[in-house]
Amino acid sequence: MPNHLVSENSPYLLQHANNPVDWYPWGEEALAKARAENKPIFLSIGYAACHWCHVMAHESFEDIETATYMNEHFVSIKVDREERPDLDSIYMAATQAMTGSGGWPMSVFLTPDLRPFYAGTYFPPVKRYNMPSFRDVLSGLVNAWENEHTELERVSNQLAQHLQQTSVQSSNNTTFSQEDLQRAVAAITDAYDWGHGGWGDAPKFPQPMMIEFLLRRIDYRTFKELKNLPAMHALKSMARGGMYDVVGGGFSRYSTDNFWRIPHFEK
């Protein structure tokens, strides 16, 4: 039997319309239900081309036992990040603040008044790779909601204050001097991986903002060999590897290895 996503327009939401999880779209109906029943909200944010979103859906959201537990203890809301980048941005900031990283599927647990108190990304159906199982996460949070509510409120209030302060700081007008920009160029260049191209270890992300920033800072009058510039070296490393789609053009989202050979699934 379809859930509350059946009338949505988003292809991503429609992919979950027949899950046994009683999904709601983001809206007053779901939020009012959480307030009236005093249940925590499970907010799942993803998008149609997200591989691990589909994996978690198949492993957990299509599982009758898991779905029954979710329906009993949570109000579950599905959001397409391509429809609601505003919500994605807010709760990605919360996820990064709590875990130090982010990604999709984004799994955020909220109080009925929308304060996050726990977050993560993909959770497997059984404990593995130093990750708890999704069922263990659910049961642990239900226990906290019922028996450690004061601590949960403290955490959610502290995080809400942190996000508000961060938002105020980021909204302040900041003027960067040429010296600031040069220091940024130096730091990015020093961190460059000349052995494999790009920045950081596997998984290797294209880092388009770094590349665009470096290209804007080039004084082409002083460079004879553009191939020696990190931005050009990174682009050529990506183009030579398996991330580049030789048939349709464009690059995959990232490479799972250090050599740009093994692309991740979505483009």
Position 171 pLDDT exceeds 60? no
Position 167 pLDDT exceeds 70? no
Q: Which residue has the higher pLDDT, 38 or 224?
A: 38
Residue by residue, what is the 3-state secondary structure of the chain? CCCCCCCCCCHHHHCCCCCCCCCEECCHHHHHHHHHHCCCEEEEEECCCCHHHHHHHHHHHCCHHHHHHHHHHCEEEEEECCCCHHHHHHHHHHHHHHHCCCCCCEEEEECCCCCEEEEECCCCCCCECCECCHHHHHHHHHHHHHHCHHHHHHHHHHHHHHHHHHHHHHHCCCCCCHHHHHHHHHHHHHCECCCCCCECCCCECCCHHHHHHHHHHCCHHHCCCHHHCHHHHHHHHHHHCCCECCCCCCECCCECCCCCCCECCCC
Position 168 pLDDT exceeds 90? no
Give the pLDDT score at 112: 95
**Among the listed ranges 152-161, 187-196, 215-224, which one has the minimum average pLDDT value?**
215-224
Position 226 pLDDT exceeds 80? no
- What's the pTM? 0.73
Give the pLDDT score at 54: 94
Domain boundaries, the chain: 11-171, 175-267
In the predicted model, what is the mean pLDDT of the chain?
A: 90
Q: Which residue has the higher pLDDT, 49 or 112?
A: 112
Average pLDDT over residues 202-222: 82
Question: What architecture is domain 11-171?
Answer: 3-Layer(aba) Sandwich (3.40)
Which span out of 136-145, 171-180, 189-198, 235-244 was modeled with the highest average pLDDT?
136-145
Give the pLDDT score at 170: 54
